Amino acid sequence: MKRFIKMLFATILASVSLLSFACCNGGKNEEVLKVGYTIYAPMNYTDEKTGEFVGFDTDLAKEVGKIINKKIEFVEINWDNKVLALNGYEIDCVWNGMTITEDLEKVMAITKPYLENKQVVVCQKEEATKYTSVNDIEKAGEVFVESGSAGESVCKNAGFTPKTVTAQKDTLLEVASSPDKIAVIDLTMARVLTGEGSSFSSLTYVDVGFETELFGIGFRKVDEELKNSVQNAIDLLKENGTFDRLLSVYFS
C-alpha cells in the first residue's frame, strides 16, 4: 500500500511539473514558429489569381523554417496590438515589414535590418504635382494612414493629424474615392498597388522626402536565442542567393 501511495505521489508530482513547464513556457510549441502578420503586399498577402498566401516576408519565413527546422504558422494580427500578441504567446515573432524604432527596441528583441523602406504620399494621378515636399501634405483635405504604422508616426512628427484605418490597403480605397484625399504608406506597398495594371491604377505615389526606414523582425526579449537562429538563417540565405532571388520576385 505504501509503495502504491509513493508511486501515486510521484505521478502527481510529474504531472504538476509538466503543467508548470507548459505555463512557464507560455504554451509555446518548440516545433512551430508562429509568425504574426497583417495583409500587406508585397510582404504578406493572398495572390488573387492563385489563391496562394505569398509575399516576400512569407516566402522568406518559409525558407528560414527549413533551415532552423521549424514549421511556419502564419497568424493574422491587429497591428496596433502586435506587442501584446507577442508577449501573450499568440505569436512568436512579428514579421511583416516592421519598421525598427527606438520604442519597439525597448520591448522587443529585433534582428538586424533586412530591407530598406520609406513613407510616400499616395494620391490620384492628376493631383501628383501638388505634393513635392512634406509640407505639401497640408494641401490635402484628408490624410489617411494605417493605425499604429510608420505612416502615422511620420505624419504626427511632421505636425499633421491623419485619419486612421485598420489596414494600409484601406487608405488607398479612401484616396480612390476623392481627389482631395491622400494616404501616407510604405513605398514597398505603394509600388505594388498603384500604377498601370495594379489594383489602384488611378493612383500614383510621390516621394516627398521622408527619411529612409529599416525593416526588422521582432521577438520577445526572452527569445534572444530564437532571434539569433533566425538571423543566422537569413544571413545564410543571403550568402546562397535565395534572398536576392526573392527580392527579384517581389520587387523587380
Phi-psi region of 64 (alpha: psi -120 to 50; beta: other; left: phi over 0): alpha
Tell me the pLDDT tens digit for each residue of 133-160: 999 999 999 999 999 999 999 999 999 9
User: Which helix (H) or strand (E) element contains residue 140?
Assistant: none
The pLDDT of residue 16:
41
The helix/strand count (H/E) of the chain reads as 9, 12
Domains of the chain: 30-115+214-251 (3.40.190.10), 117-212 (3.40.190.10)
Q: Which of 9, 193, 196, 215 is nearest to 115 (CA)?
A: 215
Tell me the pLDDT tens digit for each residue of 69-102: 999 999 999 999 999 999 999 999 999 999 999 9
User: Which helix (H) or strand (E) element contains residue 106?
Assistant: helix 102-107
pTM: 0.77
Q: Is 39 helix (H, G, I), strand (E, B) or coil?
A: coil
Q: Is 69 helix (H, G, I), strand (E, B) or coil?
A: coil
Tabulate helix, strand, coil % of the chain (nearest 5): 45, 25, 30
For residue 20, pLDDT beyond 70: no
